[in-house]
Amino acid sequence: MPKLHICGEALIDFVPFEGAEGQVGYTPKPGGSPYNAAKAAARAGADVSFLGAISTDFFGDQLKSHLEESGVYCDALPRCKHPTTLAFVDLTSGDPRYAFYNNETSTANMAPKPTMVDVGPGDILDVGSISLIDLPGADNITDFTVAMSNRMMISIDPNARPGMIEDWPAWHKRIARLLDVASFIKLSVDDLKIIAPHQTPEQFAKNHLAKTAGLVVVTDGGEGATGYTGAATVNVKTPKIVLADTVGAGDTLMGSTLAWLLDQGLSDAEAIRGLNEDALRNMLEFATSAAAINCESVGCNPPTRAEIEAFLADRA
């Protein structure tokens, strides 16, 4: 069975809560965009291996244990003595804002090697987010991904964090290298404003579908997600829910989309480029439903496949 390999940061999100006398406290929760996507994909039924480096500190132990509880394989997961990346979340403005502490961490020093991956037919490698910012890890991941692109399908979710980026030309060059080998590109409208500020989602999708990409998905919060292939363009609105917060919504959408593609046996650019309107709609409804369920609880808590299917059945 084809496997999904995910490489990127694993960190601790400190999520706010109202404590005694109205004071704000913080609850530590496992997080990180690729980490969350790995959990989401595994819970949605995919065979997932996590390749991101995890610290040997006690936060790292918690991160590894949580992955395994979600059904993610950690056999090839490298452990290192660098500390775990920490992120504090601010929800006062509605959409989450983050303060990252990533200096000399396991994320910043990540060094994946091709020998870590036992590649099988139809496997996918997914990368993205803050692990593509700080050196030397960002360049190591980029070089690794480009080297693996002739052996398996590449997917990327840039999940840009402009507050962390200091060397903008280097970051843009790194992202461009990855986009040029990616078969599946997922990004938000905010990402697009940073990566290609003078392009509409349609223009961006058209440009990359003419290169290596077979599928581009652009998310827009409450407006839902739009998928673009060589055969169709489909928008699916975000399902109405009782919102707790939006932490991990995009990661859950990414992971569940990858799980759907693997379940359908679609793990190369030509196969996904041929997704027609019905198939693209089914994919996006599955993924946006997963993201919506995640938003009904605090922090990133992706649903299982059974929960997604029950949610879809209730909406039918």
pLDDT tens track for 42-77: 999 999 999 999 999 999 999 999 999 999 999 999
| Residue 247: band (very low, low, confident or very high) from pLDDT cuts 50, 70, 90 | confident
- With b for 16 or more beta-carbon neighbours within 10 A and e for fewer, the 108-136 pattern comes to bbbebeeebbeeeebbbbbbbbbbbbbee
Range of the domain at 18: 4-315
Q: What is the pLDDT of residue 285?
A: 97
Look at residue 97 and tell me whether its pLDDT is greater than 90. Answer: no
Q: What is the pLDDT of residue 192?
A: 98
Q: What is the pLDDT of residue 9?
A: 97
Q: Which of 20-24, 33-37, 267-271, 302-306 has the lowest mean pLDDT?
A: 20-24
Cβ neighbors of 93 (< 8 A, separation 6 or more) are none
Q: What is the pLDDT of residue 221?
A: 87
Q: Is residue 183 within 8 Å of 154, Cβ to Cβ?
A: yes
Q: Which amino acid is at 222?
A: G
Please give the distance of CA 33 from its chain centroid, rounded to a whole number. Answer: 5
Mean of pLDDT values over 200-216: 97
Percent of the chain, pLDDT > 90?
A: 84
Task: Give the span between the Cα atoms of 221 and 201, in whole angstroms.
Answer: 14
Look at residue 20 and tell me whether its pLDDT is greater than 80. Answer: no
Instruction: Collapse the DSSP code of 123 into the 3-class scheme (helix H, G, I; strand E, B; otherwise coil) and give the result.
Output: coil
Mean of pLDDT values over 294-314: 93
Q: What is the pLDDT of residue 19?
A: 79
| Residue 102: band (very low, low, confident or very high) from pLDDT cuts 50, 70, 90 | very high
Which residue would you say has higher pLDDT here, 95 or 131? 131
Look at residue 207 and tell me whether its pLDDT is greater than 80. Answer: yes
| Residue 244: band (very low, low, confident or very high) from pLDDT cuts 50, 70, 90 | confident
Of 12, 305, 8, the residue nearest 155 (C-alpha): 8
Which residue would you say has higher pLDDT here, 283 or 98? 283
| Residue 95: band (very low, low, confident or very high) from pLDDT cuts 50, 70, 90 | confident
**Mean pLDDT computed over every residue of the chain:** 95
Q: What is the pLDDT of residue 23?
A: 84
Q: What's the number of domains the chain is made of? A: 1
pTM of the model: 0.95
Q: What is the CATH number of the domain that holds 204?
A: 3.40.1190.20
Task: Give the span between the Cα atoms of 208 and 197, in whole angstroms.
Answer: 15
Q: What is the pLDDT of residue 243?
A: 84
Look at residue 307 and tell me whether its pLDDT is greater than 90. Answer: yes
